[in-house]
Amino acid sequence: MLLAQEPRLLLVDEPAAGMTPAEREHTTEILVEAAKTRAVVVVEHDMEFVRRLDCKVTVLHEGSVLAEGSIDHVTSNEAVIEVYLGR
């Protein structure tokens, strides 16, 4: 419904929560396609879903940017590991 309104910015919060694998894949395709013609911001904790989006990732902590870059870059970042995995 939101895409029918042709927004310039699409904000989605945990869009794949509770979906089947097939629904998650379809949602990924929709978001990737939408990002071709508008800005798309996805808030998501499922890193496998984020990996499939193949986009720039920004990790926030206490209101500030902790790390930014590819999914591989942020998941290997020592500060991200410390804050989110407690190591």
Q: What is the pLDDT of residues 29-63, one digit of tens each?
A: 999 999 999 999 999 989 899 999 999 999 999 99
As to burial, measured by CB atoms within 10 angstroms (0-12 exposed, 13-18 middle, 19+ buried), residue 81 is middle
Per-residue confidence at 85, pLDDT binned at 50, 70, 90? Answer: confident
Q: What does the domain layout of the chain look like in residue ranges?
A: 1-44, 56-87
Average pLDDT across the chain, whole number: 93
CA dihedral 12, 55, 44, 21 (to 10 degrees): 90
The pLDDT, as a whole number, for residue 3 is 84
CA distance 80 to 62: 12
Contacts of 56 (CB under 8 A, 6+ apart): 68, 69, 70
